[in-house]
Structures are given as structure tokens and as C-alpha cells.
Amino acid sequence: MKPLSIVAALGTALLFTAAGAPARADYPDKPIEMIVAFAPGGGTDVAARSIARYMEKYLGPGARIGVVNKPGAGGEIGWTSVAQGKADGYTIGFINAPAINALVVEGKSKFKMSDFQPVANLVYDPGVLVVPKNSPYSSLKDLVDAAKKASGAVVIGTSGASGSSEHIALLNFQRLADTKFTPAFFGGTAPVRQAVLGGHVPAATMNLSEALQIAREGTIKVIGVMSAERSSYLPDAPTFREGGYDVVVGASRGIAAPKGIPADVIAKLEKAIDQALKDPEYLDAARKAEIPLQYLASADFKTFLDRASTDLEATWKATPWK
């Protein structure tokens, strides 16, 4: 082989990673699709649209990210689209633990957790239990006492599907309270908010960020926050622990890609997210939107997801939710 040919061959080889995938020095050179598995207006959608333009800023000139909502089946439709997407960095999406883990544990999803490459977690949003403003219930004890008088008669709406973080929290709550509630699954934030505001259900669970506005308006009462300590966003609302029930449950919202995405592309995405989360303008926007940020890099996010799966498998064996 002539010297020039050897140089050319080496140059070509350097364009590929050890796994055989092309190194993407020019990534991204076309629009990235960011899939959200829920309808517009919910906590995940707000988080996605808030971070997308700052990721564009740090991915480089010309970078474009389009947020695409694919709601349905408790998130399964959108998450399946992410899992089955082409592993080239142009299909990414938000995944929500523990809801996504629960679908896998149930054995009914079209994907496995190993079908995803975690990129970064952005948000951890604790659950809350709310009642209408004119509700006779002012505390968790009031709700528990009512349920004990007529087991199953107290209906509690959830913004998620069966196996969502809110439903798992409800199962834990009723176990600790030694009573039984009847869950009503609304499959989204807007429907369950309307249900509790209209008095169609006596109580509802949702995530803190999804309840803040109506709580501050006084149209609902938050009688329990599922966090270890009171939230700075709603400091007057008591925790479940204060009410005597050790329920600490929340929903994470993070970005993942299909399994097999090139390592250098993951690194670019991870770096862009890290830079975005340090951007003073984004931090100010997140504060104003009251997005409860909690950043985990790729490796730590995977550890978090693995732990969520392990915990849910144990819960499923003890208390199947379907």
C-alpha cells in the first residue's frame, strides 16, 4: 500500500468508534426529535419545552430540537417510540420513573428498560394529595377515618395510570393506614385537576409542580406532600411524614435515547444538558416555571433507574397493582 493510501485508511478508521458506529463530529446536522409520552401542558411537557432550546444553544450552531407529544396508554406509546427509534441521536425522549419501570414490571410493555440508554435526569417532582377547597377533609387523618368507616368508598383520582408513581404512592399510603381507597385513573394532569376542582372525586394525587397554581389560587387544599421535608414551593403544606405516614414518592423526568446510540453522541447530549442546567437564563426560567430540578448524569441516572426497577419488582410481588 502506498504511504498516501495508508494515511487515508487510518483517517477513515478514526471516523469510527470501537463499536463500529461513526464518530459524529458534526452531530447534530439535522433536527432532533424529543418525544414526550404525555399530552401538552403537563409537568413533563413543560420540562421538555423548557430545556430544549437551551440544549440547542449548547449543542452548537444550527442545532434544532422538536418536542413531539405522543400520549396514551399511561406513557407506553411515547416510550415505545423512543425504545424503537433509530439509535443515531436524532430520536430522544423524556422517560418518567417509576411509571416506566412499572410497565416493564407488569410484563405488558413492548420494551425493556435495557432498550433505553439513559442520558440525564433533570427533574424530581414529589407527589401530593389534594382535596377541593370546600372538602370536609382537612388532613390525611380525616381521609383515613372516612375510608375506615366504609372501606373502598373514598375514591382518589390519579393523574397517572395504574402503576404510576401516584398509584404506587396510594398503595403505600393505604397499606400504612390499614385501610382501602378506590383509585380512579385519569391518565393525565388536566383531567384529574378538573375532576377534583369539579368535586367529581373527593381527593386526588398528582405531582407537586402540577398542583402549585391551583393550590396558590385556593381552589384546592394540599393535605400531604410525599417528600422527606416540606417543599420550598409550598411551605405551608405538611408532608405525609408529619401526618404520621412514611410515604416519600415522586416522579423523575429524564432524557433517554434508544439503546446503541454512539458513546460520543451521548457525551455531546449529556454535556449540553449539563451546560444548560448551569445557564443562568435557564435556571431563572426554571425557577419561574417552578420546575423542581435534580440533575443526574448518565451513569447515575442508570443507577437510579435500576434501583427503581428493583424496588418495584419487590412491591409487585407483595402488592400487585393490576
100 in Cβ contact with 79 (< 8 Å): yes
Angstrom distance (rounded) from CA 300 to CA 169:
24
State which residues of the chain have pLDDT below 50.
1-23
Q: Which amino acid is at 83?
A: A
156 in Cβ contact with 177 (< 8 Å): no
pLDDT digits (tens, 9 = 90+) for 181-232: 999 998 888 899 999 999 999 999 998 988 999 999 999 999 999 988 899 8
Question: What is the structure's pLDDT at 250?
Answer: 87
Question: What is the structure's pLDDT at 314?
Answer: 80
Which residue segments constitute the domains of the chain, with CATH numbers given? 30-124+251-318 (3.40.190.150), 126-250 (3.40.190.10)
Question: What is the structure's pLDDT at 6?
Answer: 34
pTM: 0.73
Of 89, 93, 119, the C-alpha closest to 23 is: 89
Question: What is the structure's pLDDT at 25?
Answer: 65
